Amino acid sequence: MSEANAQLKERVRAFWQEHPCGTKFADASPGSRRFYELVEEHRYQKEWHIPAAADFSKAHGKKVLEIGCGLGTDGAQFALAGADYTGIDLTDAAVDLARRRFDLFNLPGAFRTADAENLDFPDESFDVVWAQESVAHPPHQGKQAFLREAYRVLRPGGRLMVEDAFRYRRPYPDEDEAFLHTFLSGWAIADIPTNEEFVTWTEEVGFHDLEQSDITANILPSMRYLYRMGLLLYPSEVPLRMLRIRSACQHANARSSLLQWRAYKKGLWYVQTLIARK
């Protein structure tokens, strides 16, 4: 791994360690039963398509690996459906909160802090690999490494299911490229691929029977929610950052809540699902 890639991975780790995905959507003590209930309620109200995209209802008896388990929200649905579930995350903070959720709700499952580019599982260990908004973060070499690892740990006939952000083309005019990367950097994302790039990488490692669907319309409620939160809270971010009450990571995250919507309105990114078979 190059020094630049290693530095970026540490940025990603620090970003999610500081505020595990979804914690800002619950006005309750982190780790409490009410906290997890609020996180789940927000997730499936704002992104109602996820249960179908992740195919929870058909997970019974399958070995499922989730890349970027976050708070264990999707993991809980897999477990309730009867899957043999394993969740990994790059940060200890997420893994600790996900384990806490499973303990509180008496759910079966396993968690570990791990890097999706270098999985510590034997070949052909899983029936399903699910990655929701986690593949975007590493540089393109990291995305390709993840695809190789996903292929390796899947059993023959197993399914890779990805939901993430994509760009329409490469390159954009200089001004648009700069705007897109300002938005992405606030969420510790190196760059996002075009559909053609990601499909090529997926097929190169051996996946086939690819199915893709643009689901941007489904996540607009979540995008609008983040934007409105940004409009409300960002004016206070600047003085708080100047006073060092808010960290640089927190400040960039808040700014990107505004920029993600503006980048979308400029036609710079969209979200799609990709399903492929080994």
Locate the domains of the chain by residue range. 3-217+268-277
By the 8 A CB rule, do 146 and 274 touch? no
Long-range contact pairs involving 55-64 (C-beta distance under 8 Å, separation at least 24): 55/128, 55/161, 56/80, 56/81, 57/81, 59/83, 59/128, 62/127, 62/128, 63/125, 63/126, 63/127, 63/128, 64/126, 64/127, 64/128, 64/129, 64/130
pLDDT higher at 66 or 8 = 66
Q: Which CATH architecture has domain 3-217+268-277?
A: 3-Layer(aba) Sandwich (3.40)
Strand stretches in the chain, DSSP E: 63-67, 84-89, 110-113, 126-132, 154-166, 208-214, 270-277
Q: Is 190 exposed, middle or buried, given 0-12, 13-18 or 19+ CB atoms closer than 10 A?
A: buried
Beta bridge partners of 171: none
Q: What is the pLDDT of residues 106-126, one digit of tens each?
A: 999 999 999 999 999 999 999
Q: Is the pLDDT of residue 19 over 80?
A: no
Average the pLDDT over 90-118 and give the result: 96
Q: Which residues contact 104 (CB under 8 A, 6 or more apart)?
A: 33, 36
Mean pLDDT of 12-32: 80
Return the pLDDT at 20: 77
Mean pLDDT of 136-144: 93
Most confident among 3-17, 162-176, 216-230 (mean pLDDT): 162-176
pLDDT tens-digit readout, 208-238 = 999 999 999 999 999 999 899 889 887 887 7
Out of 9-13, 15-19, 68-72, the most confident range is: 68-72
pLDDT recorded at residue 33: 96
Is the per-residue pLDDT at 4 higher than 90? no
Per-residue model confidence (pLDDT) at position 118: 96
Please give the mean pLDDT across all residues of the chain.
Answer: 92
Which pTM does this prediction carry?
0.93
37-61 pLDDT, tens per residue? Answer: 999 999 999 899 999 999 999 999 9
Give the whole-angstrom CA distance, residue 230 versus residue 237. 10
Structure tokens at 171: 């390159």
In whole angstroms, give the CA distance from residue 172 to residue 263. 12
Per-residue model confidence (pLDDT) at position 159: 98
Lowest mean pLDDT among 137-141, 184-188, 245-249: 245-249
Q: Is the dihedral of CA 66, 254, 37, 113 positive or negative?
A: positive
Q: With a cut of 80, say whether residue 142 has pLDDT above it.
A: yes
- Indicate the range of 26-30, 170-174, 227-231, 241-245 predicted with least confidence: 241-245
Confidence class for position 158, pLDDT limits 50, 70, 90: very high
Confidence of residue 87 (pLDDT cuts 50, 70, 90): very high
pLDDT of residue 2: 66
Reference 14, options 273, 269, 272, 247; nearest CA is 247
